[in-house]
Amino acid sequence: MGEDFEHIVIGAGISGLGMAHCSVKRGVSTLVLEEGNRVGGCMNTWTFPDCDDFWTEAGSHTCFNSYGNLLGILKDLGLMERLTGKGKLHYRLWRNNESRSIFSSLHPWELIRSLPHLFSGTKADRSVAEFFGAGLGRRNYRDLFGPAFRAVVCQEADDFPADLLFRRKPKQKEVMRSFTFPGGLSDIPRAIARQDALEVRTGQRVSGVVRVSDGYQVRTAAGEVLRSRSLSLAVPPDAAAALLPEGLEELRDLVGGIGISEIETVVVCVPATALAHLLPLAGLISVDDAFYSMVSRDYLPDDRYRGFAFHFRPRKLDADARIERICRALGITPDRIAGLFRVSNKLPALRAGHSELVRKIDTLLAGDRLAITGNWFLGVSIEDCLTRSYQECRRLFPG
């Protein structure tokens, strides 16, 4: 015998927590099961215990005033007062082991000649390289925008769907343009998970799902069996494919075909006094190095420490070589690193034409008590995740 719930959500990243928040608001008793020992998934603020609890983001770092669903959740939870503005800083390019201004790689005449294509062309079914290469100029794409898009999606961006790279979202002008939280973005998933109406269990890897007459049976790796009338999968596509129950083979094939991009992130904390030579910056966009990007914590200055997350291509360099690259980019020696944290991140490797695949997935899900959400439907941003979760929540629990 197992426990019964109205709704079980598998995965406590922002997609799963958004789904759960929506369903408890609709009065549905909801349990969230998370494999890791913390909630948030890619929203992962790392605190360095040996550096006076100074924190740096190991995953997502910025939310915008165009994140309407997120702002709705923050209002529900009474968190709007805690929004913390980010200092205005600029990214720089990292090329040939040198930091340069973005404009040093811009070909302005080519940009002016190409721009009409950007405003007249359609993004649908076109790759980032096709659409933005034509709209910004091939050399601009090669030298500047290609590396910048790669930094945004932390993977080769050429084949990524142009319509899912940046989706236009209405801005709430009364809210600050970009923000974080006093304890970093992990404050958000933690606050969602803490609400009384919601039960969240961490350290619970789900190993199998079976369809039963009145819903779903969920088995955890520890051997526990739970039952629910409705079920939501909010895990990366490879994990979702492995969990889709028998009878949904066509769906499993579609989901299993979605690629995954791995990112090896190294976060370092350095005493501010060791970095007097490095002006505050938003981060580095790498053109030709083994990392896609570096994102700094300089947007929230601290007298004692500065923090940097380097997002490396997988399997390119060993641990020591990565430290050597980090030190080169920061202009320090390894002994100046006061704190270090490594984490693997995963993002979906979406391809042009992805929206058609999502339409097929949705056709197969129609009428089912099963929902699927994640950063592999409408785009990878936090708000794209929440938009998908809210669509699926309204489908499962209308009214």
Ligand X SMILES: Cc1cc2nc3c(=O)[nH]c(=O)nc-3n(C[C@H](O)[C@H](O)[C@H](O)COP(=O)(O)OP(=O)(O)OC[C@H]3O[C@@H](n4cnc5c(N)ncnc54)[C@H](O)[C@@H]3O)c2cc1C
**Shortest reach from residue 121's CB to ligand X, in Å:** 25
Between residues 61 and 123, which has the closer beta carbon with respect to ligand X? 61
Between residues 274 and 361, which has the closer beta carbon with respect to ligand X? 361
Sheet of 63-64: strand order equals: 63-64, 178-180, 84-85
HSE-CB at 158 with a 13 A cutoff on CA atoms is: 4
The partner residues of 206 in beta bridges, in order of sequence, read: 220
**Shortest reach from residue 304's CB to ligand X, in Å:** 24
Between residues 11 and 137, which has the closer beta carbon with respect to ligand X? 11
Rounded to 5 degrees, what are φ and ψ at 230?
Answer: -120, 150
The helix (H) or strand (E) run that includes residue 371 is strand 370-372
Residue 335, number of CB atoms within 10 A of its CB: 8
Least Cα distance to 218 among 254, 194, 243 occurs for 243
Burial of 80 (0-12, 13-18, 19+ CB in 10 A): exposed
Q: Could you give the CA distance from residue 376 to residue 385 in angstroms, rounded to a whole number? A: 8
Between residues 20 and 274, which has the closer beta carbon with respect to ligand X? 20
Taking the alpha carbons at both ends of the chain, their separation in whole angstroms is: 32
**Shortest reach from residue 343's CB to ligand X, in Å:** 9
Between residues 169 and 336, which has the closer beta carbon with respect to ligand X? 169
**Shortest reach from residue 207's CB to ligand X, in Å:** 7
Between residues 281 and 382, which has the closer beta carbon with respect to ligand X? 382
**Shortest reach from residue 1's CB to ligand X, in Å:** 22
**Shortest reach from residue 221's CB to ligand X, in Å:** 8
Residue with tokens 């940046």: 166
Decide: 160 and 354 in contact? Cβ < 8 Å: no
Q: Could you give the CA distance from residue 53 to residue 64 in angstroms, rounded to a whole number? A: 26
**Shortest reach from residue 276's CB to ligand X, in Å:** 28
Q: Which residues bind ligand X (CB under 6 A)?
A: 10-16, 33-36, 41-43, 59-62, 154, 205-206, 234-236, 239, 263, 311, 345, 347, 374-375, 380-382, 385
The partner residues of 265 in beta bridges, in order of sequence, read: 311, 343
Between residues 222 and 366, which has the closer beta carbon with respect to ligand X? 222
Least Cα distance to 234 among 2, 395, 32 occurs for 32
